[in-house]
Copies of this chain bind each other. A is one copy, B any other.
Amino acid sequence: MPVTTIEWVDDHIRMIDQTKLPGELIHLKIKEIDILAEAIKSLRVRGAPAIGIAGAFGIVLESQKFAGESKTSFFAMLEKTTTYLNATRPTAINLWWALNRMKTLGDNHKDKSINEIKALLKQEALNIWEDDRKICRSLAEHGAEIIHDGYNILTHCNTGALATADYGTALGVVFTAHAQGKKVHVYADETRPLLQGARLNTWELMHEGIDVTLICDNTAGVVMQKNQVDCAIVGADRIAANGDAANKIGTYSVAVLCKHHNIPFYIAAPYSTIDFNTKSGKEIPIEERSPDEVTNGFGRRTAPENTKVFSPAFDVTPHELIEGIITENGIIRPPYDINLKKYATS
């Protein structure tokens, strides 16, 4: 059973504090919107789908607390909360998508009473959570088709249960292939600076009894050079209309290395990660993280004081390096500018 990284319990959000893994498995009980915003910003909850769910639950938190009687005030509160939460992390489209889905739901029921709208919003957030569970399973089923017995799969960052409501995206594909009885082995990039691969992917894979070898990001090239990688599968935080995909920093390098070694490079992400309003990767805003995450990340300072650091949280892989985009609606192949739209469910 995969861990449940985030869920709604009674009147609060219950989530694993991912910054404490793998050392400690601590659940946070979040009742305040500011605490939630901090948790998103500092990556206590992370992974594009999980952030979307966190955003939706945040709307529920604030709406449940609303004690006024003015519908205008209620909708102003919704608007404010949406803007506030959306600003926590700029790159992942899932956050905007989930918040927008909540907002639209509210807008569509403006004639209802505040209490009715509160109930509808809560139900919608639970639906987003439940939908993500189904999406993960369906995406993983499609993705498992590309995994053959004996495959060595390279992963970057964490894309498992911790990043979603259920099974994960790229890692869900691995879990499903494993459950199908295929022998698989994973090379997990540690994923600097915050080591989601080292801390989280290895933890999830070992938990499921899947053979995993941790490598530094700079070692991916060597294992490819030694013909020890059959494919790479990573997640995505936003996919542009032309197929360019933003994902955790370092993904682009993995894609280039795959290209050089003729190794297929796949993206696995919910269909909602595709942002048709973003024409190409150039338009995707890239969050820059604090230098401290690089120079002072794990208990000890590892660069001189005042060292200048460039630390983007994400990079953009151009569509021509992507073999396929694995979604819950199927595996989408190039040309993406034509095919991405074809996979929409009506």
* Chain A positions near chain B (C-beta within 8 angstroms): 22-23, 187, 189-193, 195, 198-199, 202-203, 206, 211-223, 225, 249-250, 252-253, 256-257, 259-260, 291, 294-295, 297-304, 306-312, 315-316
Contacts and interface: CB of A to CB of B under 8 A. Distances in A.
Q: Closest 6 interchain pairs by CB?
A: A218-B250, A299-B299, A298-B298, A221-B253, A217-B218, A192-B216
A299 B302 CA distance: 11
A326 to B, nearest CB: 22
A333 B202 CA distance: 43
A303 B22 contact: yes
Nearest to A189: B218
A185 to B, nearest CB: 10
Contacts of A303: 22, 190, 195, 198-199, 202-203, 214
A85 B302 CA distance: 29
A294 B216 contact: yes
A219 B249 contact: yes
24 contacts: A22-B303, A23-B300, A189-B218, A192-B218, A193-B216, A198-B294, A199-B303, A202-B304, A213-B310, A214-B295, A214-B308, A215-B310, A215-B311, A216-B217, A216-B311, A218-B249, A218-B250, A220-B253, A221-B250, A225-B316, A256-B256, A256-B257, A257-B257, A298-B298
